[in-house]
Structure 1
Amino acid sequence: HAAAGATVVLVTGDGVPLGTLALTDRLRPGAPAATAALTALTGTAPVLLTGDNARSAARVAEATALVDVRAGLLPEDKVDAVRELQDAGRKVLFVGDGVNDAPALAAAHSGIAMGRAGSDLALETADAVVVRDELATVPAVVRLSRTARRLVLQNLVIAGTFITGLVLWDLLGHLPLPLGVAGHEGSTVLVGLNGLRLLRESAWRPGRDPSQGARR
């Protein structure tokens, strides 16, 4: 059992060995699909940071097709690993649920805690909390955050273009007040409608990007 990555516990009674228990971590449903989605989305495979022994970590890594695996880490070791990735110029998103994950959640650029089984300290430290224990939500959050940032930039361009056009029109010619008000309010309406695209159902579906429309 130990060779397979399990933690073996000896059970005794009155000093007499009665048997052994093999304890293993159960892989979360959807973990392989979530890691594959994150790899495709970011272009970089996730890194597994765990306090478990190397054999347990290797078993999880094999099931999720992860290559960069760092086992036997203390909380401060996880923080060092996060900072190492940051020093290499990478934006780090840390996902965890335990007390030992809290320092790394705080050190990363962004932290996501798995809410159902997460410790109170991890939930308080994380920037976002996944209420359901579905790892597929993590790539969805990354995708939505990127889309939100893109929509914010689009809205700034829309608003800036309208305001610049109206100001130049007024400086170089004569801009009627009703037309100026209509142009200003019209840009506000366009910005609002553009932002509402995040509320579409397609924004929450795996593999869909609301800012790029439907894919075939």
Structure 2
Amino acid sequence: MAELEAGGRTAVVVQVDGVAVGVVGVADRVRADAGATVAALTALTGAAPALLTGDNPRAAARLGEVGIRDVRAGLLPQDKVAFVRERQQAGRRMLVVGDGVNDAPAPAAAHTGVAMGRAGSDLALESADAVIVRDELTAVPAAVALSRRARRLVVQNLVIAAVFISGLVVWDRAGTLPLPLGVLGHEGSTVLVGLNGLRMLREAAWTQAVRAGTGHV
């Protein structure tokens, strides 16, 4: 077991009737897009991601090759929640991505929890605020970029509606606003807000979010 763990593997002991008969070494496979995802999240959020895992420290240290420097290993589910709350108390807004049963409490405690849908456990999917259906890590920064664009769109719509309504109110208070123009102005602002919101349904919106998430704008 010590030899396997020293080599960066997680040791699993196989028992038969309470007697140890073998040891299996399990190693995580680093995805090809992991490094790009870590770099993109760092660029988007201004802070490097941290890795919270229940694996042994040597196995977790192997993931430093993708750019993660803050690695917390040997954690139980409550330890992950404690880490998230500690950062929140320090004024950070936490985004937690997970897919396992042990990961479920941490996304639930974070400001935003994201679950990887294809490989995620049912508990992780239920506790997350958002589910990434695609089995691609780069979809995580893309979803962050898309959500920020959606937020900007909501602010734009609020400004459009406020400008139209304020203009109609001022016009009516300063003089006489004809009813047809009042209706046209009110309904016109609603149409503009709707058309502006429909931009998020275009395929180009996701493409631009992917480019922003990967740093290729």
TM-score under structure 1 length normalisation: 0.88
Matched, 1:207 2:208: no
Going from structure 1 to structure 2, the CA distance change for 1:51 and 1:10 (only over 3 Å counts) comes to closer
Greater relative contact order: 1 or 2 (C-alpha under 8 angstroms, separation 6 or more)?
2
What is the alpha-carbon distance in structure 1 between the residues aligned to residue 132 and residue 123 of structure 2? 15
Going from structure 1 to structure 2, the CA distance change for 1:76 and 1:132 (only over 3 Å counts) comes to same
Is the 8 Å Cα contact of residues 48 and 68 (structure 2) preserved in structure 1?
A: yes
What is the alpha-carbon distance in structure 2 between the residues aligned to residue 122 and residue 153 of structure 1? 31
Give the letter for the 1:23 counterpart: V
Post-superposition offset of 1:122: 0.8
Q: Number of residues paired by the alignment? A: 209
**Which of residues 86, 89, 92 in structure 1 aligns to 2:88?**
86
Structure 1: segments with no counterpart, 5+ residues: 210-214
Is the 8 Å Cα contact of residues 160 and 193 (structure 2) preserved in structure 1?
A: yes
Equivalent positions of 1:1-216 (< 5 A) are: 1-9=4-12, 21-60=24-63, 62-205=64-207, 206-208=210-212
Going from structure 1 to structure 2, the CA distance change for 1:170 and 1:18 (only over 3 Å counts) comes to closer
Post-superposition offset of 1:9: 4.8
Give the letter for the 2:29 counterpart: R
Deviations 1:25-47 (A, max 9, x none): 12234111111111111111111
| Structural RMSD (CA) | 2.3
What is the alpha-carbon distance in structure 2 between the residues aligned to residue 163 and residue 150 of structure 1? 20
Post-superposition offset of 1:18: 8.5
Give the letter for the 2:5 counterpart: A
Give the letter for the 2:110 counterpart: A
Instruction: State, as a whole percentage, how many aligned pairs show the same letter.
Output: 67
Give the letter for the 2:80 counterpart: K
Deviations 1:70-89 (A, max 9, x none): 11100000000000110111
Post-superposition offset of 1:196: 1.4
Going from structure 1 to structure 2, the CA distance change for 1:11 and 1:81 (only over 3 Å counts) comes to closer
Moved more, 73-82 or 177-186: 177-186
